[in-house]
Amino acid sequence: MELDVLRYNSKSDYTDGLFMIDKSFECFTIEDEARTVKIKGETRIPDGRYKIEFRNVGGFDQRYKKKFGDFHKGMLWVKDVPNFEYILIHIGNDDDDTAGCLLLGSTADSSKGFIGGSTTAYKKAYAKISHALLKGEEIWITYGTIG
């Protein structure tokens, strides 16, 4: 399975994007802003291609196990990002909800740096991605900037 994040709007505090699964639009994204020099918790990851695996430890994993029960198989972990650790795909609405991670949403307001319907979008995408991972498929995500 191939995932793509197409970043189309980079502002001083956030970056908007489109999330694709196997070249089909899935939902909207929001991340931190681009920076020349990384600031921990305030910088988006670099464009590139990264492997996705489950992460079954940490605070997010524990919270999502409580929130989603058996639906949750582990956090979606963007692996081996240079100079970043534990980049996850998760729920949130704006750049205050991320520390370099990718947030998913059903709606987007690019003028305000806000995505809505995050839990709905996350659950829909998570079901597809986790199913593929559980079947042993390799999952890759490519981050790119357009426009």
Give 78-114 pLDDT, tens digit per residue: 999 999 999 999 999 999 999 999 999 999 999 999 9
The pTM score is 0.96
Q: Which two tokens stand for residue 36?
A: 């020349």
Cβ atoms within 10 Å, residue 136: 6
The pLDDT of residue 22: 98
**41, burial (CB in 10 Å: exposed 0-12, middle 13-18, buried 19+):** exposed
The pLDDT of residue 145: 95
Domain hosting residue 132, numbered range: 2-145
The predicted-structure confidence for 27-82, as pLDDT tens digits, reads as follows 999 999 999 999 999 999 999 999 999 999 999 999 999 999 999 999 999 999 99
Q: Smallest Cα–Cα separation from 81: which of 49, 35, 53, 41?
A: 49
